[in-house]
Amino acid sequence: MPRTATPADETKADKFKRLAVARVNKTLDALNQIGQLSAKANYEYTPEQVEKILDTIGAKLEDVEASFAGKKAASEGFTL
């Protein structure tokens, strides 16, 4: 997706809103794609794999919450 030029007079609040909307929508799309992996007709997985996926997503969400609370936190990447 090509980047569009932003107005020179865009405020920090406007920039936050613009980026937040785009990034949250992108995240929701990604979560929907992960949810589609639940289709047993197409995929085979263990309860442990599902737990690891959900734990990793939950840990990252906690990191994001901590960031907004002014705390520094970082979870690790993901592999199965």
Per residue in 19-28, pLDDT (tens digit) is 999 999 999 9
Question: Would the pLDDT of 4 be above 90?
Answer: no
CB 45 within 8 Å of CB 33? no
Q: Give me 75's structure tokens.
A: 């979870």
pTM for this entry: 0.79
Question: Would the pLDDT of 7 be above 60?
Answer: yes
> Tens digits of per-residue pLDDT, 34-61?
999 999 999 999 999 999 999 999 999 9
Q: Per the domain annotation, does 5 fall within a domain? A: no
Query: Residues near 66 by Cβ (< 8 Å), separated by ≥ 6?
Result: 72, 73
What Å distances lie between residue 42 and 32, 36, 37, 49, 55, CA to CA? 16, 9, 8, 16, 23
Question: Would the pLDDT of 1 be above 60?
Answer: no
Domain of 78 in residue numbering reads as 45-80
